[in-house]
Each structure stands twice: as structure tokens, then as C-alpha cells.
Amino acid sequence: MLINNDTIIKDTDPLIRQKSEDVPLPLSSEDEQLLRDMMKYVVDSTDPEIAERENLRPAVGISAIQVGVPKKMTAVVVDDKDKDGNDVRYQFMLVNPRIVSSSVQPAYLEGGEGCLSVVNEHEGHVIRSARIKVRAFDLCANQNIEIRARGYLAIVLQHELDHFKGILFYDHIDPEDPLKSPENALVL
């Protein structure tokens, strides 16, 4: 499937609010190909030359609903630091991911969040959990996995999994106090 800025569904389309369905395993060849195409988009979107040539907006993740497929699949590539401060790249092609636990400590990105499906700017803090545990089938590993995510990776995963429920990042911004900063929040 061709995925670029023209084919990604925007928040003006009611389809983006549709709830996604579980995906049967083992994956059909169509679902596997879609997930691989989604991963290719995320990886290629960070290469300025490819991104310009193929009309890609930079991304760290994309969910199937964003290309019009209401299935619980997401591709994520996050460059971050591990708990010891070493550079690490997290790459997942997740099927039916679900959060099985989350921390009480809140977290947010100081500069706010963005989304391939959201063209307009939405200023404000998107409050999420600082740490989560996710269980899913991962096509990269070709097995069921458990991810213990913290910080930026945790925020990215929560953002992508929200798409399965038809929730966009700006739904989390407090309309009364968009820049509210909860006590004890991890600010990234």
C-alpha cells in the first residue's frame, strides 16, 4: 500500500475516530504487508531525501487506522536512551497491543505532541503515564512480547494505542488550562 502524506487520513475525516478491531493471528499476508509498509513509512520518513521525494512527514509511529484500516496494528521506531544513558533504537511492528499496567506518575512532552493525522497545531500538555507495560505480538521478533516502556517510548506507545480507540492526542489537553503541569510529572 502506498503510504504518504496524501494517503494518511486526517482528523477532519470521521474514520480516524473509528474503533479498531483485533487482528487474527497468524497474520494474513495482507495484514503482514500493511504492517511492513507502515514500518517502511516510519523508517523512510526520518531520511530527509526520501521524505521529500515521497511526500512523507517525519514520524516515530503510525497506526493502521491512519491509512483507513481499522485494525489494531502499529509500527513504531523510537531513538532514545536506555536507563544507563546509552543510545538505543526501539523498533516494533505490533499487533493487538494492550497496556497491562501503567505508573501513577504522569509524564508529558514539554513541546507537546504531534500526529500525522493532525495538520493544525494544538498547544498544550498531553498528560500520560511515565511508565507502561505493553503485551503484543511483534512482527519484528515474530512472537508475543512484553515491553516495559518509560519516558518517550511510553508516550509514543500510548499515543499510538489511543488511535485504536479513536482518541487523538489533543483530546487529552485540558481546555481550561492547556499548559497544566501535574505535580511530580516527568517532563521530557
Q: Catalytic positions, please?
A: 160
Count Cβ neighbours within 10 Å for each residue of 124-137 and write b for 16 or more, e otherwise. bbbebbbbbebbbb
- Cell numbers describing residue 133: 507495560
Closest by CA to 62, choosing from 164, 173, 165, 170, is 164
Cβ–Cβ < 8 Å for 181, 187 = yes
Cβ–Cβ < 8 Å for 62, 71 = no
Give the integer Cα–Cα distance in Å for 102 and 94.
18
In order of 10, 41, 44, 103, the CA distances from 48 in angstroms are: 22, 12, 8, 36
Pure H helices in 5-139: 29-45, 48-54
